[in-house]
């Protein structure tokens, strides 16, 4: 966590009031788009979207904007207290949706499907092959009924997610697979350093990290030998930067957590896809 703030790696600032939104994500209050955009450009007003979400029970949980401009890209996690938590073994997981938007034309407004692991504030982002886990909006006005229909569709997807997580909890990897998982996850966290022309430099990864360090859970309840727990251990450590990392010269250079909101989305989705790959291999 950065000093003097409530900024949490992976999910941004904890939001409990509109004042928190104004203090930490002021770009959502822009009533118009960046003036450098074409006069033909129209945008989706984030504040208006949040008001519609609220009508259907979805309230901001956390968020962050990337950059200091009042038009900057911003990513907000929302939860619906009318939805029950999903119990998974030792876990208590709450469904989340993630609103990703900007007022500068740098990205379309979009919704990602997420989960929040309560015990450690792990903000997961779902990416299941063949499932509609992201909804992109064109920058046009908001249609309340259309948005309600989309939210209803997202809620139905959670039955698919529950099935996948159940299977992850039944999947056991051997030691070789676990180390391979950590190596690939490390490469996805820092692709510019460890991936060249689509290929992972395994030797460079193993020089930079100790897989056993990353595989060691932060809490006793996470000492479960299954794919779901492996995914969560690796995700938490890499997002929060709670692992040892070494420079090219061998010096200890512990990493920072992932605080950039967009980078967090990209890495979390890559890690979920990696987990799905191992799940598929073990089910077939």
pLDDT at 281 over 50: yes
Q: What is the mean pLDDT of residues 130-134?
A: 69
List Cα–Cα distances, 47 to 18, 114, 254, 257, 261, in angstroms.
10, 20, 38, 28, 18
Question: What pLDDT score was predicted for residue 220?
Answer: 80
How far from chain centre, in Å, is Cα 82? 22
pLDDT tens column, 161-188: 999 999 999 999 999 999 999 999 999 9
Question: What pLDDT score was predicted for residue 80?
Answer: 94
Q: Give me the percent of the chain exceeding a pLDDT of 70.
A: 88
Residues whose CB is less than 8 angstroms from the CB of residue 223 and which lie 6 or more positions away in sequence, other chains included: 217, 229
Higher pLDDT, 142 or 59: 59
Question: What pLDDT score was predicted for residue 121?
Answer: 73
Question: What pLDDT score was predicted for residue 40?
Answer: 52
Q: How many CB atoms lie within 10 A of CB 141?
A: 10
CB of 30 within 8 A of CB of 70?
yes
Q: What is the mean pLDDT of residues 118-131?
A: 81
Q: What's the first-to-final CA gap in the chain, in angstroms?
A: 41
Question: What pLDDT score was predicted for residue 106?
Answer: 63
Q: Assign 12 a pLDDT band (cuts: 50, 70, 90).
A: very high
Q: Assign 3 a pLDDT band (cuts: 50, 70, 90).
A: very low
Q: What token pair was written down for 189? A: 């966290």
pLDDT at 4 over 60: no
Question: What pLDDT score was predicted for residue 140?
Answer: 55
pLDDT tens column, 28-86: 887 665 545 545 545 678 888 899 999 999 999 999 998 877 778 889 999 998 888 88
Q: What is the DSSP code string of the chain?
A: --TTS-EETTTEEE--SHHHHHHH-GGGG-SS--TTS-TT-----HHHHHHHHHHTTEEEEEEEEESSSTT-EEEEEEEETTSPPEEETTEEEEEEEEEEE-SSSSS-EEEEEEEEETTTTEEEE---TTS--EEEE-SS---HHHHHHHHHHHHHHHHHHHHHHHHHHH----HHHHHHHHHHHHHHHSHHHHEETTEE-HHHHHHH--HHHHHS-SSGGG---SHHHHHHHHHHHHHHT-S--B-TTS-B-PPPP---HHHHHHHHHHHHHHHHHHHHHHH-
Where does residue 97 rank: exposed (0-12), middle (13-18), buried (19+ CB within 10 A)?
A: buried
pLDDT at 268 over 90: yes
- pTM of the complete model: 0.89
Mean model confidence pLDDT for the chain: 86
Task: Report the chain's C-alpha Rg in angstroms.
Answer: 19
pLDDT at 190 over 60: yes
Question: What pLDDT score was predicted for residue 25?
Answer: 92
- Pick the range with the lowest mean pLDDT from 91-105, 129-143, 164-178: 129-143
Place of tokens 């890499």: 238
pLDDT tens column, 215-267: 999 888 788 889 999 999 999 999 999 999 988 877 888 889 999 888 999 99
Question: What pLDDT score was predicted for residue 172?
Answer: 95
pLDDT at 148 over 80: yes
């Amino acid at each position: 966590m950065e000093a003097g703030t409530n900024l949490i790696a992976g999910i941004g600032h904890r939001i409990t009031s509109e004042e928190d939104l104004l203090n930490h994500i002021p770009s959502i209050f822009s009533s118009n788009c960046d003036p450098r955009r074409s006069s033909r450009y129209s945008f989706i007003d984030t504040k208006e979207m949040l008001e519609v979400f609220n009508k259907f029970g979805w309230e901001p949980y956390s968020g962050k904007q990337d950059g200091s401009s009042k038009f900057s890209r911003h990513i907000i996690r929302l939860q619906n207290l009318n939805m029950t938590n999903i119990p998974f073994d030792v876990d208590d997981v709450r469904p989340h949706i993630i609103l990703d938007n900007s007022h500068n034309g740098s990205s379309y407004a979009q919704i990602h499907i997420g989960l929040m692991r309560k015990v450690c504030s792990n903000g997961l982002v779902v990416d299941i092959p063949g499932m509609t886990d992201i909804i992109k909006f064109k920058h046009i006005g908001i249609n309340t009924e259309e948005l309600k229909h989309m939210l209803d569709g997202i809620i139905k997807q959670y039955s698919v997610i529950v099935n996948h997580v159940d299977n992850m909890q039944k999947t056991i990897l051997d030691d070789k697979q676990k180390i391979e998982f950590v190596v690939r996850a490390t490469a996805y966290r820092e692709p510019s350093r460890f991936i060249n022309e689509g290929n992972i430099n395994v030797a460079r990864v193993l020089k930079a990290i100790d897989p056993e360090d990353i595989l060691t859970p932060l809490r006793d309840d996470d000492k479960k030998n299954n794919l779901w727990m492996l995914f969560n251990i690796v995700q938490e450590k890499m997002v929060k930067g709670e692992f040892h990392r070494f420079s090219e010269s061998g010096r200890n250079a512990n990493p920072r957590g992932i605080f950039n909101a967009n980078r967090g989305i990209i890495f979390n989705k890559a890690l979920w896809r990696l987990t799905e790959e191992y799940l598929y291999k073990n089910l077939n």
